[in-house]
Each structure stands twice: as C-alpha cells, then as structure tokens.
Amino acid sequence: MAVSPYTQPSFSEHRARTSHVNRTLLTLLSYVLLTKDGTSVSLTHRHANDINYYDATISHSDNINPLEKFYLITEQKWHKDTLVPISLSPSSKGMPTRSHHRIRQSVTGLDDAGMDLQVAQLSSQTDKEVHSRTTLSWLDWHLPYFVALCAIAGTILFTFLILLWLRKQMSREKDNENGDRHGLVEEGAICQPDKSTKDTKESVEAKWVHEAFAKQSAPKYPVRPVPQTSLPESLATPERKPEAIRIKAKGLLERRGSSTSLTIELAPAPESPPHMVTPTRECTTEEFLLSAGNVLSRAQLKKIVQGTGTLHKEFWEVPLNLPEKVDICGSGVKNRYSSVLPNPQTRVVLPGCSDDPLAGYINANYIRGYDGESARYIATQGPLANTIADFWEMIWAEKVPAIVMITRLYEASKPKCEAYFPFDVNNRIQAGSFTIIVNYVDTRNGYTVRTMEIRHERERRHLQHYWYDSWPDHAVPQTADALVSMAAEVNALPRPVVVHCSAGIGRTGCFIAIGIGMIQLLRDGNVDVLGILCQMRYDRGGMVQTAEQYEFIHKALNLFEQTLDSKPSTSSD
C-alpha cells in the first residue's frame, strides 16, 4: 500500500486558515454580545460563503494530507449546523444603537429605509403576538369560572322547576281528595277523627251528638240509611258499637274534608248519588267500614257501569282489613295462603274443642247478609287434604243447607281446592266420622247442582252443592247470567250458606255481594254496593280482590235490574 508522505503546509495557506478562524471567533463574539435580550435571525448569508469556501478547498485539494482534510471537513460541518442569531431590536444591552444598526445592514444588505420598514413590521407582529397571548391568558383564567357559574345557575333553575312540578302534583292530589267528599248529605254517618289530629285553633265550637246510623232522609231525596247490625251474641264485641258523630253547628260549607269539622251538603249535586257517605281520611279501618256507603238508584246503576273509572277509584279507597296473624299456635298448617287469615271477631269455631284451640280452628268467617242479617253466609277457603274433615264438621255443626263452590280443583296446573265430595251419583267418600253420598246431579247452564246426603252417627241430612267451574283464572267471566241465576236460587234457601273459592275472599266476595245486591234491588229499588263491600270486609278481610271484580258486581246487578218491572226507586225508612 502506498503511503503519501506528509508535506508541511505553506505559509500562505497557514495564514489563510488563521484569518478564517479569526473571522469565525469574531462572529461568535458578536453573537454573544448582540443576542442577549432580543429577537434574532441566522447569519445565513455570511456563513454561506464560508461553507462554499470549504467546499471549494476540499474539492480542489487532492494534495492535502488526511489530518488537514479531516480538520477542514469538521469545520465545514460545524459551520453548516451552527446558526448564529443577531438581534433585530432597536437597541441591545452593552452596545450602542448605531453599531448594532450597522451590523444589521452589513448582514442583511438593506439600507436605512429598508431596515426601518423591517423593524416596523417586526414590531407590529410582536405587538399582535403579545396581544394574542394576553387574550388567551385572560380566557384561560376566566373561562373555567364562567362555565362553573353557568353550571351552578342551570342546576338551581332545574331544581326550582322540579320543586314547582312537585308542588303542582301535590296540590292536584289534595284537590282530588277534597273533591271525594262532595257527596256528604245531611245527617250522614261520619266517624270520629283521631284525637291527635284535632285543630286547637278552631274558633267555632262543635257539638258532640251521639246518634244512631239510621236517620230520616232529606225531603228532596229519599234516603235509605246504612243499617246498624250486630253478629250473634257469642261473636259480638264492644268495639263494634257506633262511634259518636260530630256535627258542626254552623258554617256547614267551611273547611271541607277537615279533621276538625264535618261538611254537610243540604242539596247534593244533580249527578251525585242520592245517599253517599265517605268518611274522612283520619278514620280508622273499623270506622270506615262501618260508615261508608254509596246508594245507587236503578237509573244511576245503569249509568255508572258505562264509565268504570269512578268505580275503580271508589274500590281502591276501601281498606282491606286483613289480619296480620292468628293467635292460635300451629294454625298455619290449616291455611291455604299465609296472607289470607280469618278475622278473629267473626271467625267460625268448631264445636267440642274448648280444650284444644287448634282442633277448633278453621279458616272461615260469618258474613252478614241483607239488612245486617247475622250469619247469612259463611265464607271459607277451599279445603286442604288435612282440613276436609274439619270442613264437613263445620257443615254439620252449622246445619248448612247449601254449599257454593266457585273454583276448579286445578287452575293453571296449580291446586286450588281438594276434592272433598264425590262427583258421580251413588258415589261416596268418608271424611272423618262423616259419610258423603251423591244422590242426584243436575247440569244447568254454566253450573252444576248436586244433591248430597250426609250421614253422621245414624243421622242423615241433605244439602245442595252448587259448582260454578267456568270462572277464568285472574279475570272475570264475560257474562254474569249463570251467576245471577245461581244467586237467585241460593237466596231462596235458609241460612247459613257456605261459599268458597280457593282463598275464600275474591270470587266468594263477588257472589255474596251479588246475592245481597239482588235482594236490595228487589226490596228497596236501589243498591249500595260500596256499603256491601265494606260490610263484607269488616266480617272477613280482603273480600273482592280486584277492581275488575268490583266492576263485575255492578254489571251483574245491572243485568238483574233489567229483569225487574219498572217500578220507581224507593228507600226504606
């Protein structure tokens, strides 16, 4: 390999390099002095010549030794990568303005006018940037506060609108409650409000008068009073006595629906029923059920079945009066549904079991009939497998002439009632010490009647068994013809009649209400379905379970009313 010999550079070349290095150092010194607080531009024009110089020297110096060539290449790269800014401000620190201005002229190649124009443009641009940055800074600081203020104001406005809407709804409900009491008439039955709700600021004194529920009617509208009845002496309780009636002596139209006064309208509205008593909200369940009523004439009965909204509202205002428990240990095994229990004051007690309360327990209640006839019906649940003997013991002890069954044995694959009787003629079953035999089966339109014979200790009795098995589950029948016909037959039988479905409250309540209402229409020419419902629920809680069943009772009675001759509506005194 050939190695080129090292040749010492000439004096002229050494001087040229030294001069170039000096110029470079001068330029750097100028940069340090001039670029401390101003805006600068690069010395592109100045260093372009130096770069071209190095390019020409390197390209035409084939005879330069490698070390010198490396020095030139390195210095060329340093010049290309380095940008030396020069301040364009009118003055700089540590240097006169005129010298600074001369340097800019030598670098840019502009005269005084051009330099002034360039300075003016740059000053304007700087002012705009400062103003823009100031504006953005103000927005950065104040915009979050403005957004937060808008959010707080919106929240307050939304809350105000919600409160206004709630107040409007509460006012509307209060107006509806006050409107429910517009049917009170003179000498109507009303319950005593609770002592805790007395208004001590009432300026007008009221007079307490002990009155019976039955009073004479207003002259313009004949009124049948709500009868006061009682159960047999063995079931009567002191709590069933009517409470005192509070009547305000003057200011009859003042404070309607208040707990401290009674509003009595001497002349009801033309479309109002002739006799409607609605207790105040402060009444207890017992007081409500003993006093509420809504007597409908035959014409009003026809009209009310066309619009059912009023009936549904009337139904849901009646308390259920379902007992929470029965104070008999172990009675739960004799209940078909744990939530349907017999009310204690009217509960049927099996005889001969005084020493064992559980042996005398059966889920059944006495139900009053028309005009408060005591123990006209016995409402009970569908017998269980372990209560069939108790059921027939009750039938025998109460000397029941008829049983009304309004359920199938299974509905929707669920047991509703145990088969407690034989189905076919001459068939028999044994229930404890009782023998039940079917002597005759008569199939009617919609229901079946069986004539049964009961044998117990060499004694024989006969009874009728009515089975209506076409009631749809969780609904009401499409027509009421069969039930009306069956109720007409049962009304002709002596008391007590046992009526049961599955739970002994829903369909059972419908049938009993239809039977009592039919007798009212026959004897009085009007009907009080609300009063019938309250009377039944006082005797057995939960009677008539749904508003659709309550509506069905009115339709059935309207159907029966169409079969009556057109005699005017009257009220019994």
- Catalytic residue positions? 501
Cα-only R_g, the chain: 53
CA distance 52 to 93: 33
**CA angle in degrees (0–180, nearest 5) for 189-546-521:** 55
In whole angstroms, what is the distance from residue 250 CA to residue 297 CA?
A: 31
Q: Is 191 annotated as a binding residue?
A: no
Q: Is 8 marked as binding a ligand?
A: no
Q: Is 329 flagged in the annotation as binding? A: no
449, with CB counted inside 10 A (0-12, 13-18, 19+), is middle
436 appears as a binding residue in the annotation: no
Task: Write out the DSSP string of 383-441.
Answer: PPTTTHHHHHHHHHHHT-SEEEE-S-SEETTEE-----S--STT-EEEETTEEEEEEEE
Strand boundaries in 484-525, DSSP class E: 497-500
| Token code pair at residue 452 | 């049964």
CA distance 366 to 386: 22
Q: How far is CA 71 from CA 50, 75, 76, 81, 324, in A?
A: 14, 6, 9, 16, 109
Mapped onto helix, strand or coil, the DSSP state of residue 205 is coil
CA distances from 544 to 370, 409, 514, 541, 554 (A): 17, 20, 11, 9, 12
C-alpha 78/C-alpha 111 separation (Å) is 31
Which DSSP state fits 10? P
Q: Which residue has the tokens 């007079």?
A: 207
256 annotated ligand-binding residue? no
Q: Is 505 annotated as a binding residue?
A: yes
CA distance 291 to 188: 9
Judge whether 504 is annotated as a binding position: yes
Q: Does the annotation place 506 within a ligand binding site?
A: yes
Annotated ligand binding at 507? The verdict is yes
Q: Give 252's DSSP letter.
A: T
Q: Which residues are annotated as a binding site?
A: 473, 501-507, 545
Q: Which residues are annotated as a binding site for substrate?
A: 473, 501-507, 545
